[in-house]
Amino acid sequence: MIQGIIAIYVREMLILKRRLSRQIPSWSISPFLYLTAFSYAVGRGVSIDGHSYLEFLIPGLIAMGSMTQAFAIASEINIARFYWHIFEEFQAAPISKFAYVAGEVLAGMTRALLAIGVIMVLGFLFGVRLHYGFAFFMALLLNSFVFASLAVGLAMVVKSHADQAMLTNFIITPMAFLGGTFFPVDRLPQWAGAILNLLPLTHASKAIRAACLGEPVNLFSYVLLFIIGSLFFGLAVWCVERAKD
């Protein structure tokens, strides 16, 4: 079982390693643009709950980045499945569905952590000092666990690469904007806030932000993310079986 997980994981890492020199610039572009735009446009005047806007924004970007990068594993799986037919090699191999999902989810989480490393460096260059401690990394890991698991499950369900792009547009993009990344969810009308509080990303942003700013974290968010992640993981394992025609 362990060997199956390693096979799947190492394969993704070897591919990532070959692309890393292109991947790092691509990971930096959008956080760099957000940081530049917001630090000049709104940065100076605005403060939220006693913090500068950049101090508020960077944890939001980290939450968003860990979500999108963990979720991006879905595209990798899709290309491997529909374009290169490599998924058949895994289907034919004597490895468990659990091992396959675990390997891909770990690969997604690794991607997310590397991309977040880039944002942390950028934040440092923009002169923002935050606390990156245990609570921060736990929130980050849980958030990427949730979205990598969701990604693997959806990648098994979709019928083409175009479907995949559509799902990203419907699920990930709205969540990226609404999940407490760019503005505090609490400032919205109560009903809107209540809806957004159902999104896992909202909890991840809150937890990551509290941890970064050295404020007390809400344990409930961690437990909730863990439960949602485990649920998605279980669903993903089930979807791998269903991917047989």
Rule CB under 8 A: choose which of 10, 42, 219, 223 binds other proteins.
10
Region 15-34 residues binding other proteins, contact defined as CB under 8 A: 15, 18-19
47 beta partners:
52
Which residue lies nearer to other proteins by CB, 55 or 76?
76
Joined together, the tokens standing for residue 138 give 């736990």
**Could you say which of 40, 50, 92, 187 contacts other proteins (CB under 8 A)?**
92
Tell me, by CB under 8 A, how many residues bind other proteins. 23
Cα–Cα distance list, 45 to 41, 42, 51, 53 (Å): 9, 6, 11, 8
Closest by Cα among 167, 145, 146, 140 to 156: 167
Nearer to other proteins, 77 or 212 (CB): 77
245 binds other proteins (CB under 8 A): yes
**Nearer to other proteins among residue 20 and residue 195 (C-beta):** 20
* 204: helix, strand or coil: helix
CA 22, 24, 26: angle at the middle one, nearest 5?
70
Identity of the residue, 85 or 159, whose beta carbon is nearer to other proteins in the bound complex: 85
